[in-house]
Amino acid sequence: MTHAFLMQRTELTQAQWGELVELNPSGPSPEYPTAPAGTHNDCLQPNCPVGNVNWWEAAEFANRLSAKEGRQQCYLLEGCHGTVGGGDGADFECETFEQATESIYDCGGYRLPTKVEHEYAARAGTRTAYYSGDLPDEYAEECVRLLPQLDAIGWYCANAEDRTHPVASKMANRWGLYDILGNAAEWRHNRPVMPDPGAAPWTDPFGETGNGISTSDAHEIGGGSMFLSPAFLRSAGRSALDATTRYPGIGIRLVRSLQEGE
């Protein structure tokens, strides 16, 4: 990695979202709007992570924050329609996007982290499953007994009661990052396809993002979430969803490449 970067200490909160977007998408699953309280829901408090955000909205929010601070917008979104925040069921989505710079690492504004950045930040110099310790095989899918080293750092299926919680209420990693494992899952910049690098080292890998991604393509999410088992919260864990997907416990953590002189 040749580009230093800054990362939010916490997941984007509903209060931070509300500074730039009128509608708060957080709440019950859109697929199950009458779900009982505590069943795959986002907590509705200013200091809880914003949830039910799709990838297009995450990119749009990053652009808005960049514009507010006079920075370069990293995502050139085209053919967009709908309402950011999902007002009246008109979900915000776009036909395509292009990166403002050939390498996303060269963009000076806010953006979503790549898989490599997200895992690097989550590990904070560690090589274990979590920054607090390893994952015994017998606990991989365990949602009844608490795994102490995971309970200390993140909200997951055994302690979250199927809902998100206020940010920074668990132990941070050694770099001061909270909830990077558990609580809300976090959208990443790249698509889920990353060829096997083999034995040779890579420089600034980011996956096969390319330009002109359609709404039918998936993007990675990382960090696991409040209703997933320990196996999904590993620092190296990843999964992917279509860019239009909304679900409680899917949110945002922004990064920005450090610029010369900063």
The number of residues making up the chain comes to: 262
Q: How far is CA 134 from CA 91, 129, 140, 157, in A?
A: 39, 5, 11, 17
* Contact call for residues 53 and 250 (beta carbons, < 8 A): yes
SS3 label, residue 55: helix
How far is residue 260's CA from residue 172's CA, in Å, rounded to a whole number? 28
pLDDT digits (tens, 9 = 90+) for 123-180: 999 999 999 999 888 888 889 889 999 999 999 999 999 899 999 999 999 999 999 9
Separation CA 171–CA 177 (nearest Å):
9
Q: Is a pLDDT exceeding 50 seen at residue 216?
A: no
Q: Phi, psi at residue 218, to the nearest 5°? A: -90, 160
Q: Which of 130, 157, 122 is nearest to 229 (CA)?
A: 157
pLDDT, mean of residues 4-11: 97
Residue 254's pLDDT band (boundaries 50, 70, 90)?
very high
The string of pLDDT tens digits covering residues 177-201 is 999 999 999 999 987 755 555 666 7
The CA angle 250-237-46, to the nearest 5 degrees, is: 25
Percentage of the chain modeled with pLDDT above 90: 64
- Region class of 5: left (phi > 0), else alpha (psi between -120 and 50), else beta: beta
Of 61-65, 77-81, 140-144, 171-175, the least confident: 140-144
